Structure 1
Amino acid sequence: MPVLNERAYLEHAVASVLAQELQGPSELVLALGPSTDGTTDLAQRLAAEDDRIRLVANPAAHIPVGLNAAIRASRYPTIVRVDAHSELAPGYAQRALATLERTGAANVGGVMRADGRTPFQRAVARAYNSPIGLGGGAYHGTTHEGEAESAYLGVMRRTVLEEVGLFDETIRRGEDWELNLRIRQAGHKVWLDPQLSVTYWPRESWWRLARQFRATGAWRGELVRRYGRSNGLRFFAPPALVLNVILAVIVGVLQVARVLGGLASLVASIVYLPLIAYAMLVAAMALRPGDGRTPRERLWTLAVLPTMHLAWGYGFIGGVLRGARDTVDASRLGTRNTPLP
């Protein structure tokens, strides 16, 4: 488990891991980044209370670096990746190990079920769980079991990880997808079992959400630079939206300035149609009746969906044009979260 500034979530995440019932020995290795919110002190206390918890340093604070440090420090033949911003469902590890054995796969993952405790966080969670929000990735809600492109978190065979070279430490986001690409290219199976469930807690503020998605988009752009067509078409929808917005602004300015007029203006106005359709789609998701949402959640949905798509698309375009370079997920830095009840 890579950990950075997760004081509000770490204890719940650790408890969900330690509560897993397994027939053999297990350990939880926390890779500690340079947190500023008291996370390190909390991790040290948890480790002192349970000898199954081990701590390793991750001074670089990058997720794949921390994951590799934890994997190298671990002692057992199966690696279960977990996240400090999530909680494993009861029986998760036991079922994952059984699926790993039953399918012969190299990596088994389940479904991310986003949830929230505030109106904003619940609005983000609904967007995560909707095909509209994140483009319909299989692990965001499929009920079909079978081979998959990637796996959320993942329960992996150490032998295969060592064969393909662990996580690529030059990648800051999208490291799971890239690792699973190499696993599949090496002739192994990546498997999705929808009966495996992990609760994920999204970012708690609009600004942190925007920073997270901008960084994620930038690294997807970098992955497109590196791996081209191995990336699915759904990744190109947000940057297409951003380009459409830019083009619409340009056309609008030219129309107001009367540079475009007559038939040319009418033809150019076609650029508004995709944006009108998108706005109607967002409004339909926000205002859909009968789903128990509060008015504040509905209002936040109107802001959350465009934020996710535009921030991701903007980051993606930059990542494709100039590479992600040293882009980091700044939403994980300098947080001052209060502990959850």
Structure 2
Amino acid sequence: MSVDAPVPAHGAGVTFVMPVLNERDYLERAVQTVLQQDVDGPAELVLALGPSSDGTTELARRLADDDPRIRLVDNPQADIPVALNLAIRSARHPTIVRVDAHSELAPGYTRQAIATLDRVRAANVGGVMRADGQTPFQRAVAIAYNSPVGLGGGAYHGGAPEGPAESAYLGVMRREVLEEVGLFDETIRRGEDWELNLRIRQAGYRVWFDPRLAVTYWPRESWRRLARQFFATGTWRGELVRRFGRQNSLRFFAPPALVLALIASVVLGGVQLTGLVSGIVSAVLSLAHLPLALYVICVLGFSATAGRSLRERGWLVVVLPTMHLAWGVGFLRGLLRGAKDTVDTSRLDRNTPLP
């Protein structure tokens, strides 16, 4: 039986929390979309500042000097769950809105989210992540993000109906529930939102998806950063499978299955080329190439139809396998060895020119 989350008094206020690390090119616009939100009662934005090297910290301080609603807390460890907990602990209001410095809230996002929280008595509500891009590469990544072909069809990547959810993108949360379940687990560097929502659901509270909520997300700007991001994310998903087993969705196992299919196909191809097997045996074993062949056909077909320009189509042919294989290799590493001290190094340096 579900437990109703507490509903704060009308106008009790909202605290937006945002981890920040090397986001100079995105931070100001992200902050603007937060400060433009229409909410009942007081609002504040807490920026948890990691040790940036691109001028982000100086920009954040200037923004805070210009608007008293912005407060700063230091996050020398740089880890996202640590940043979120620091910001939540310093929050002054009972409703917490998580914001990513790489994202932009749609007008009316917070008001709609709070109305949904009140209506369904959920502890956390999230909406749709609408990826977008400024270059052909980034737009190709956005197309992959917005399609089940790219990220496997999680509710917040597509058009799922409103209702209970496994997790929530970013999330608008009741602080009282967060404190009850122990805030974010600081030992988990990626997938921390999924694990938090698992504990929220295990405590009996509702996690809710509302497709009327929309957040614009700006993906990584280069192939190297994308590969690093997905390798780290996959590694931590492998760690989460080690910790929580089948409480993880089956869709998380598709990328590692692709990696294993690729390895099997390469090994079999080598055996066939050396002539160690031939005739009927070789023909039968060739069926092992079928999954990889179907995957290649799917990637080429999707890229040709989903890309809006020749450059986007070309990048999609690169982006999709990069996302899937980097994630899958990371997953297998995390599953076999654990994530240990794996970090998302794509966040550490944003001085590389865009492709």
> What TM-score range do you get, normalising by the shorter chain?
over 0.9
Aligned partner letter, 1:315: G
- CA distance change for structure 1 residues 257 and 338 in 2, over 3 Å: closer, same or farther? closer
**Counterpart selection for 1:118 from 115, 135, 152:** 135
Aligned partner letter, 1:218: T
Structure 2: state its 5+ residue gaps.
1-17
Q: C-alpha distance in 2, partners of 1:337/1:200?
A: 20
Q: C-alpha distance in 1, partners of 2:191/2:288?
A: 32
Q: C-alpha distance in 1, partners of 2:123/2:353?
A: 38
The reply to whether residue 66 of structure 1 matches residue 66 of structure 2 is no
Do 1:8 and 1:338's aligned partners in 2 also have CA atoms closer than 8 Å? no
The equivalent residue for 1:218 is: 235
SS at match of 1:136: coil
The equivalent residue for 1:10 is: 27
Q: C-alpha distance in 1, partners of 2:195/2:307?
A: 38
The equivalent residue for 2:112 is: 95
The reply to whether residue 320 of structure 1 matches residue 335 of structure 2 is yes
The equivalent residue for 1:54 is: 71
Residues 260-275 of structure 1: matches in 2 within 5 Å? 260-275=277-292
Q: C-alpha distance in 1, partners of 2:307/2:191?
A: 33
The reply to whether residue 22 of structure 1 matches residue 22 of structure 2 is no
1:149-194 CA-to-partner distances (Å, cap 9, x unmatched) read: 0000000001100000000000000000000000000000000000
- CA distance change for structure 1 residues 287 and 338 in 2, over 3 Å: closer, same or farther? closer
**Counterpart selection for 2:96 from 55, 79, 83:** 79
Q: C-alpha distance in 2, partners of 1:244/1:260?
A: 19
Cα offset for 1:338?
7.9
The reply to whether residue 190 of structure 1 matches residue 188 of structure 2 is no
Residues 129-148 of structure 1: matches in 2 within 5 Å? 129-148=146-165
- CA distance change for structure 1 residues 123 and 259 in 2, over 3 Å: closer, same or farther? same
Q: C-alpha distance in 2, partners of 1:262/1:323?
A: 42
**Counterpart selection for 1:310 from 325, 341, 346:** 325
Do 1:29 and 1:56's aligned partners in 2 also have CA atoms closer than 8 Å? yes
Q: C-alpha distance in 2, partners of 1:338/1:110?
A: 31
Matched pairs, number: 337
Aligned partner letter, 1:172: R
Do 2:228 and 2:346's aligned partners in 1 also have CA atoms closer than 8 Å? yes
Q: C-alpha distance in 2, partners of 1:15/1:127?
A: 27
Q: C-alpha distance in 2, partners of 1:259/1:246?
A: 18
- CA distance change for structure 1 residues 292 and 237 in 2, over 3 Å: closer, same or farther? closer
Cα offset for 1:267?
1.6
**Counterpart selection for 2:198 from 181, 184, 190:** 181
Q: Give TM-score, length-normalised by structure 2.
A: 0.94
Structure 1: state its 5+ residue gaps.
none
Aligned partner letter, 1:189: R
Cα offset for 1:266?
1.3
Aligned partner letter, 2:183: L
Q: C-alpha distance in 2, partners of 1:105/1:317?
A: 34
SS at match of 2:185: coil
- Percent same amino acid at aligned positions? 70
Q: C-alpha distance in 2, partners of 1:282/1:292?
A: 11
- CA distance change for structure 1 residues 244 and 191 in 2, over 3 Å: closer, same or farther? same
Q: C-alpha distance in 2, partners of 1:22/1:334?
A: 35
The equivalent residue for 2:260 is: 243
Q: C-alpha distance in 1, partners of 2:59/2:193?
A: 27
- CA distance change for structure 1 residues 334 and 292 in 2, over 3 Å: closer, same or farther? closer
Q: Give TM-score, length-normalised by structure 1.
A: 0.97
The reply to whether residue 298 of structure 1 matches residue 313 of structure 2 is yes
Aligned partner letter, 1:71: I
1:2-53 CA-to-partner distances (Å, cap 9, x unmatched) read: 0000000000100000000111001000000000000000000000000000
Do 2:140 and 2:307's aligned partners in 1 also have CA atoms closer than 8 Å? no
The equivalent residue for 1:229 is: 246
Q: C-alpha distance in 1, partners of 2:284/2:251?
A: 28
Aligned partner letter, 1:61: A
Cα offset for 1:292?
6.9
1:65-122 CA-to-partner distances (Å, cap 9, x unmatched) read: 0000000011100000000000000000011111100010000100000000100000
Do 2:131 and 2:219's aligned partners in 1 also have CA atoms closer than 8 Å? yes
Aligned partner letter, 2:91: S
Q: C-alpha distance in 1, partners of 2:238/2:277?
A: 34
Aligned partner letter, 2:316: T
The equivalent residue for 1:335 is: 350
Superposition misfits of 4+ residues, deviation over 2 angstroms: none
- CA distance change for structure 1 residues 241 and 116 in 2, over 3 Å: closer, same or farther? same
Do 1:255 and 1:261's aligned partners in 2 also have CA atoms closer than 8 Å? yes
1:228-287 CA-to-partner distances (Å, cap 9, x unmatched) read: 010010000000000000111110111111112222211211111011111111111111
